[in-house]
């Protein structure tokens, strides 16, 4: 028989299912094996989330159901949200996005590429089909939290030529990019 105090020394914060103060060796080993499996599953899930957050492929995550499309939106930066909205909802091309964001075409494309990597596709229709239900379900406040303050309808309500109150979220310089290009 294994003394159950020995188990407590190894697993401080673990509650074992015990019927009495002493358990058979087989029962203790079964409990420890079950706890190890549960901990390893949680560690694997954390590794997957970290790998994904660092730009890894989401294909294995989506098939396992660990991370959904809503979680993709939570991992994106404000600039990536701005690029996504301009591309999906504004129908903008790379040059227009770059001008509006005050960056090069390549930089604007990198913001989109981050979305494509996280979604596992470059297909605009597929991304739109997958993200629209998330946009419909999420509250304005929750989306603003995910995007760093950018509203859900930002791309649709933007008026060219006017200073965008959200410019500081996606442009390094607070001056309107259109005003700088007109000089």
Instruction: Report helix, strand or coil for 106.
Output: helix
Tell me, yes or no, whether 42 and 115 share the same domain: no
C-alpha span between 101 and 8 (Å, rounded): 58
Tell me, yes or no, whether 150 and 128 share the same domain: yes
| CB-CB contact of 143 with 118 (8 Å) | no
Q: Is the pLDDT of residue 61 over 50?
A: no
Give the residue among 28, 31, 85, 76 at the shortest CA–CA distance from 97: 85
Residue positions counted in the chain: 183
Question: Is residue 62 in a domain?
Answer: no
- pLDDT of amino acid 123: 86
What's the predicted TM-score (pTM) here? 0.58
Calculate mean pLDDT across residues 89-118. Answer: 88
Helix (H), strand (E) at residue 28: helix 25-53
Tell me, yes or no, whether 158 and 97 share the same domain: yes
Tell me, yes or no, whether 96 and 171 share the same domain: yes
Calculate mean pLDDT across residues 81-86. Answer: 91
Question: Is residue 156 in a domain?
Answer: yes
pLDDT in tens, 169-180: 888 654 444 444
Question: Is residue 96 in a domain?
Answer: yes
pLDDT in tens, 37-60: 888 777 877 777 776 666 655 444
What's the domain count of the chain? 2
Residues contacting residue 111 through CB under 8 Å, at least 6 positions apart: 77, 79, 80, 82, 83, 84, 97, 101
Kindly report the average pLDDT of the chain as a whole number.
76
Q: Is the pLDDT of residue 103 over 70?
A: yes
Tell me, yes or no, whether 20 and 46 share the same domain: yes
- pLDDT of amino acid 1: 43
Q: Which domain holds residue 39?
A: 4-54
Tell me, yes or no, whether 120 and 174 share the same domain: yes
Distances (CA, A) of 48 to 54, 81, 109: 10, 23, 26
Label residue 151 by pLDDT band (50, 70, 90).
Answer: very high
Which tokens sit at 6?
A: 């020995």
């Amino acid at each position: 028989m294994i003394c159950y105090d020995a188990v407590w020394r190894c697993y401080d914060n673990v509650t074992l299912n015990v019927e009495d103060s002493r358990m058979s060796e087989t029962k203790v080993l079964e409990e420890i094996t079950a706890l190890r499996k549960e901990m390893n599953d949680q560690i694997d899930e954390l590794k997957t989330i970290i790998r994904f957050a660092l730009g890894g492929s989401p294909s294995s995550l989506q098939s396992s159901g660990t991370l959904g499309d809503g979680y993709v939106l939570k991992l994106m930066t404000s600039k990536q949200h701005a690029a996504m909205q301009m591309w999906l909802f504004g129908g903008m091309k790379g040059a227009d996005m770059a001008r509006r964001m005050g960056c090069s075409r390549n930089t604007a494309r990198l913001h989109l590429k981050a979305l494509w990597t996280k979604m596992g596709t470059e297909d605009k229709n597929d991304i739109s089909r997958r993200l629209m239900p998330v946009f419909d379900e999420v509250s304005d406040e929750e989306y603003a939290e995910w995007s760093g303050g950018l509203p859900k309808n930002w791309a649709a309500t933007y008026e060219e030529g006017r200073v965008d109150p959200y410019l500081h979220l996606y442009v390094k310089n607070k001056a309107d990019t259109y005003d700088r290009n007109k000089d």
